Structure 1
């Protein structure tokens, strides 16, 4: 029994190590990184996960039918909970690093978390180099093709 437990524990560890820790990227949400290099060499960004507009309800409906409690509730989006903020920050850190935009991490300046739109506004800890300016220009919006999906 002891060997089986150790083997099972090792399998969970390997599975855990193979996961990049990213969330929501296998959903219909669009993932973007808006970058802006300021004249003083500060590198600003906004990382976004957004549900497609056509799937976002235009108003909130309240279910009033006791026989069908699910009727009236929108499908899709993020199930916002206690871990949503941490998962959003993990995604942000992955994207700014793997896109080559922030080499030394970032400072979070602002954020918003809702069912259909999550974003983090931040500033890289490192300043822009000439290579950064050539690669990113003064600003652009990058999509997941730039950093790839895990």
Structure 2
């Protein structure tokens, strides 16, 4: 599959997802792996690290790699600045949607676990094309129920 077709396909998906007001988690069902790591300090400080990763990244990168043929040099992106700018914008739009999905995953996970009941302060964020990590501190301190539920081993 040529790179141009893949880019157009991804752009179409981005446009469709961007048109909706929220991102449906079901769209990534089976392709997303996430993990919430918690830590409660002795003074009650509640910290967490949320990590999300796309499971099909190896498959996607394999599909992008095609065998070398006589016309291989023509498969590189054009040196035309307008085409390079368009490609950059497509990649930025995809990254923005992925970042929103990571945020949504974090918020849903915190809601389900009730770890940060009063919200959180974001300490750091690292988002790349196939994985994301958000570290934070809960606004409330830990109570005894939190210490039992989120016990560290």
Pairwise TM-score range, normalised by the shorter structure: 0.5 to 0.7
The Cα offsets for residues 39-73 of structure 1, whole Å up to 9 and x where unpaired, read as 11111111111234982769x97988256569xxx
Write out aligned runs for 1:31-50 (5 A): 31-50=34-53
Give structure 2 stretches of 5+ with no counterpart.
1-19, 78-92
RMSD over aligned CA atoms reads 3.7
Give structure 1 stretches of 5+ with no counterpart.
1-15, 71-78, 140-150
CA distance in structure 2 between the partners assigned to 1:130 and 1:118 by the alignment: 31
Q: Which has the higher helix share?
A: 2
CA distance in structure 2 between the partners assigned to 1:22 and 1:116 by the alignment: 16
- C-alpha displacement at 1:93, in angstroms? 1.6
Question: What SS does structure 2 have at the residue aligned with 1:80?
Answer: helix
Count how many residue pairs are aligned between Structure 1 and Structure 2: 114
TM-score by length of 2: 0.57
TM-score by length of 1: 0.58
The Cα offsets for residues 61-106 of structure 1, whole Å up to 9 and x where unpaired, read as 7988256569xxxxxxxx7333433332232122112111111011
1:82 aligns with 96
Question: What SS does structure 2 have at the residue aligned with 1:82?
Answer: helix
